[in-house]
Structures are given as structure tokens and as C-alpha cells.
Amino acid sequence: MRMNNRIKEQYAQIASALQLRFDEEYEAIHGNYGGYPVLIVPSSSGSNVYYYMPKICIAAESALGPLSKEDCKAYKKEHAYVSSLSQSGRLVTLVVKNQRKAERLMEAIGTELRNLISYLHSRGFQPCCQVCGQPVPAEAYFVSGGFLQMCEECRVSLNQRMAVQMNRDRSKPENVIGGVVGAALGSLLGAASIILLSQLGYVAALSGLVMAICTLKGYELLSGKLSRLGIVVSCVLMVAMTYVGDRIDWALVVARDVGMGFASAFGYIPTLVNIGMIEASTYWANLLLVYLFVILGAVPTILGVLRNRRDEGKISRLS
Ligand SMILES: [Zn+2]
């Protein structure tokens, strides 16, 4: 999740209007409001609308029991800006309806936050730690891809458990041979898609994406994890197999047009490019385009893996 600067500014404004804090790195508004630990983040449903659908999350528990479906439905009906209200465990989540104008969005969040707090109060909800349920001060944390509002004690014990788990994962052996086989199979699929799509007359470039993703996923699937070595092996295979796939694609065309055997056509491709039988600019432009798409597919996948590894076992207190 990455907000654009305009939306970031809006969130920062909303936070300061509500006297809450805005964590720029994790793009979350958090703090204490009316005695309750509050977290406001974009809903996780895709598209551009995404950032305009903030959800308000409050860690609280009531002796009267959790909110029922009927309670939530009735609440939504009574409140104009509410898209949905739900409770899962000790977390009450309210999604604010899409507001196109920044001022309206701020107004909606402010209004619905106040309404929700007074509703929770009237229903006997006590602020608590989302993990253990103790009525102690809870702070917002980012833990392996999600947010948690928890107490200090829970943070310490979660930290310990994650450290143990991480050690276990790290010592899990990587099946390098399996990974290489997986990457090779993936890159074969990629090469096949380069040939097939191109022969069918589609833009071969898109198959660059297929190549990148199949190769990396192939390694990960059969080795158990995508390590640095796996990334290097996959990249080498991608580069090589993209070239091979593209050359086979040309050889098929030459074999068909000139009536030459496929194997000799494959061998002659560089010569044909050199003597201008295949226009060099067309040949290289086409190949570069496919490589460009291989990069477009590979880079986000690799960055995602590296980012996960960085966040793995890390509990970050929102600032
Ligand atoms: Zn706790």
C-alpha cells in the first residue's frame, strides 16, 4: 500500500484535526480518542477508490457480548456516512463511505468516529488490548503485514514467539535442486508463452510478465523459499530462456516462410539478422520489448519478497 502525496496530506490533516497521530511510513492514523485506542487506515479493497474508504478500528470489549449482525445493520441504517460496521474478536471496525471531496471525508470521519465512540460507550464497551483483552492501554503496531492494537505485555510475548518462529524458518533447509528444477520449468512455460502468443499474433511483450512470474514462483514452489540464490538463478534462467523463446519464435517464422527445416532456421537466425534478411531494428526492438516486460514482471515480485523478509519477525510501533 502506497498513498500518493495528496492523500497522505489529507490523512495527516485528518489526524491533526482529531488530535491523533499519523504514521507516514505505515500510512495509518492512530492514538487515543475518547479513552479508546483508535486506528484509522484505508480499507484493503483494491482500485483507486481504496484510499477514500477509510476504516476506523477500535480495540474494545463489552460485558454485554459482541455486536450482533442485527446491531450492525441497524447502526449502518442510522448513520449516513457508514458503509459497514462489524466486530471481529475484540476489534470493532467501521468503514466510512466514499467521499470525493477532502472536506467531506474529514467531516465524515470525525462525525462517525464520535458517533461510534458514544455508541460503544452506551453499549458498555471498555477499551482493551486487542490480543489479551486486558483493560490496559493499547498501542498500535504493524506486525507482519497487518495492524494490531495491543498492550506492552502482549508485545513482548509476541516478539519472543516470533523470534522462535523465525529461527525455525531460517534453519529450514532450502531445497536448491528442487528450486532450480522449478525455475527451469517456470522459464519453459514462459518461453512457451512467448512462442505461442507471438505465433497467434498477440503482442509477445506480455509473455515477458509470464516468464518472470512463472520462473520466480517455480523456484519458490519447489525449493520452499525464494532465497537470494534463488533470485539469481531465476534471473539467469529468465534472461536465457527469453532469448531462446524469442529465437524459436523467429525460427518458426523463417522455417515456414522459406521452407527450411526448423533446426537449421534456428541456427541461421543471427546470420539472417546480420545480412539483413531479418531487419535488425525489428529483431532487436522486439526482443528488447520482451525483456522490458520480463523486468516489469520480475522487479515487483523480487521487491515484494525482499520487503517481506525485512518485515519478517518485526513488530513496529507506529510513531
Ligand atoms: Zn495484551
In a domain, residue 85? The reply is yes
Question: How far is the centre of ligand 1, averaged over its atoms, from the C-alpha of 139 (Å)?
Answer: 10
**Confidence (pLDDT) at 2:** 66
Choose the final residue of a domain: 123, 140, 167.
Answer: 167
Question: How far is the centre of ligand 1, averaged over its atoms, from the C-alpha of 30 (Å)?
Answer: 17
Question: How far is the centre of ligand 1, averaged over its atoms, from the C-alpha of 8 (Å)?
Answer: 30
> Which three-class secondary structure state does DSSP give residue 10?
helix
In a domain, residue 121? The reply is yes
- Alpha-carbon Rg for the chain, nearest whole angstrom, is 27
11, three cell numbers: 490523512
Please tell me whether residues 63 and 23 are part of one structural domain: yes
Please tell me whether residues 142 and 181 are part of one structural domain: no
Please tell me whether residues 145 and 54 are part of one structural domain: yes
Please tell me whether residues 160 and 100 are part of one structural domain: yes
Question: How far is the centre of ligand 1, averaged over its atoms, from the C-alpha of 37 (Å)?
Answer: 13
Separation CA 269–CA 261 (nearest Å) = 12
Question: How far is the centre of ligand 1, averaged over its atoms, from the C-alpha of 184 (Å)?
Answer: 47
Please tell me whether residues 100 and 187 are part of one structural domain: no
Question: How far is the centre of ligand 1, averaged over its atoms, from the C-alpha of 18 (Å)?
Answer: 25
In a domain, residue 318? The reply is no
Please tell me whether residues 23 and 115 are part of one structural domain: yes
> Which three-class secondary structure state does DSSP give residue 287?
helix
Please tell me whether residues 130 and 40 are part of one structural domain: yes
In a domain, residue 319? The reply is no
**Confidence (pLDDT) at 47:** 44
Separation CA 73–CA 75 (nearest Å) = 5
Separation CA 57–CA 34 (nearest Å) = 14
Choose the final residue of a domain: 112, 140, 167.
Answer: 167
User: CB burial class (10 A; 0-12, 13-18, 19+) of residue 265?
Assistant: buried
Question: How far is the centre of ligand 1, averaged over its atoms, from the C-alpha of 20 (Å)?
Answer: 21
Question: How far is the centre of ligand 1, averaged over its atoms, from the C-alpha of 64 (Å)?
Answer: 20
77, three cell numbers: 441504517
Separation CA 71–CA 289 (nearest Å) = 56
Please tell me whether residues 271 and 245 are part of one structural domain: yes
Cβ within 8 Å of residue 299, ≥6 positions away:
none
Q: In 3D, which of 252, 219, 256, 250 has the Cα closest to residue 234?
A: 219
Separation CA 72–CA 77 (nearest Å) = 9
| 297 backbone dihedrals φ, ψ, rounded to 5° | -80, -35
Please tell me whether residues 66 and 103 are part of one structural domain: yes
**Confidence (pLDDT) at 102:** 81
Separation CA 248–CA 246 (nearest Å) = 5
Separation CA 244–CA 225 (nearest Å) = 27
**Confidence (pLDDT) at 89:** 93
Cβ within 8 Å of residue 65, ≥6 positions away:
none
Please tell me whether residues 213 and 196 are part of one structural domain: yes
Question: How far is the centre of ligand 1, averaged over its atoms, from the C-alpha of 85 (Å)?
Answer: 24
In a domain, residue 317? The reply is no
> Which three-class secondary structure state does DSSP give residue 104?
helix
Question: How far is the centre of ligand 1, averaged over its atoms, from the C-alpha of 136 (Å)?
Answer: 7
| Maximal C-alpha separation, the chain | 84
User: Within its chain, how far is the Cα of 280 from the centroid?
Assistant: 40
In a domain, residue 272? The reply is yes
Question: How far is the centre of ligand 1, averaged over its atoms, from the C-alpha of 148 (Å)?
Answer: 10
In a domain, residue 107? The reply is yes
Separation CA 53–CA 55 (nearest Å) = 6
Question: How far is the centre of ligand 1, averaged over its atoms, from the C-alpha of 83 (Å)?
Answer: 29
Give 40's strand partners: 29, 56
Question: How far is the centre of ligand 1, averaged over its atoms, from the C-alpha of 159 (Å)?
Answer: 12
Separation CA 121–CA 113 (nearest Å) = 12
**Confidence (pLDDT) at 148:** 93
Give 84's strand partners: 95
Choose the final residue of a domain: 140, 167, 194.
Answer: 167
In a domain, residue 38? The reply is yes
Question: How far is the centre of ligand 1, averaged over its atoms, from the C-alpha of 117 (Å)?
Answer: 21
For the chain, the domain total comes to: 2
Domain extent, residue 110, equals 5-167
Q: What is the pLDDT along the chain (319 residues), one digit of tens a residue?
A: 567 788 888 889 999 999 999 999 888 999 999 999 999 998 864 444 445 688 999 999 999 999 999 999 999 999 989 999 999 999 999 999 888 888 888 899 999 999 999 999 999 999 999 999 999 889 999 987 789 999 999 999 998 988 888 888 777 788 999 999 999 999 999 999 999 998 888 776 788 889 999 999 999 999 988 888 999 999 999 999 999 999 999 999 999 988 889 999 999 999 999 998 889 999 999 899 889 999 998 998 888 888 777 777 788 899 8
Please tell me whether residues 25 and 71 are part of one structural domain: yes
35, three cell numbers: 479513552
**Confidence (pLDDT) at 59:** 95
Q: Residue 155 is part of a domain; what is its CATH number?
A: 3.30.1460
Question: How far is the centre of ligand 1, averaged over its atoms, from the C-alpha of 45 (Å)?
Answer: 28
Q: In 3D, which of 154, 145, 144 has the Cα closest to residue 37?
A: 154
Cβ within 8 Å of residue 113, ≥6 positions away:
18, 33, 38, 40, 56
| 40 backbone dihedrals φ, ψ, rounded to 5° | -125, 115
At 256, which amino acid appears?
A: R
**Confidence (pLDDT) at 94:** 95
Question: How far is the centre of ligand 1, averaged over its atoms, from the C-alpha of 151 (Å)?
Answer: 4
Please tell me whether residues 147 and 221 are part of one structural domain: no
